Structure 1
Amino acid sequence: MTDWLTDTRASYDTVAAAYADAVRGSLTGDPYVRAALSLFATLAGGDGPVADAGCGPGHVTAHLRGLGVDAFGLDLSPAMIDVARRDHPGVRFEVGSMTRLPLEDASLSGLLAWWSLVHTPDEALPQILSGFHRVLRPGAPLAVGFHAGEGARLKTEGYGGHPMHVYVYRRTPAAMTARLQEAGFTVEAELCLDPSTPSPSAVLFARS
Structure 2
Amino acid sequence: MLDTLAETNPDRRPAILVCVYEPDDPAWVALDDVTSTGWNPAGARALPIGTGDPEALAEQLSARLAQVDCCAVLLVGRTRRSNGFRLQMRAENRVLAGGAKLSSTGPAMARATAPVAEIVRDLTDAGLAADATSEGEDDVGSYLLYRILTALPDAADAPAVGLLRVPTTIDPESLRTALRTATSAMARHLSPLPRTRLS
Q: Same fold (TM over 0.5)?
A: no
The structure whose Rg is larger is 2
TM-score by length of 1: 0.31
TM-score by length of 2: 0.32
Larger fraction in helix: 1
Larger fraction in strand: 1
More RCO (CA 8 Å, sep 6+) = 2
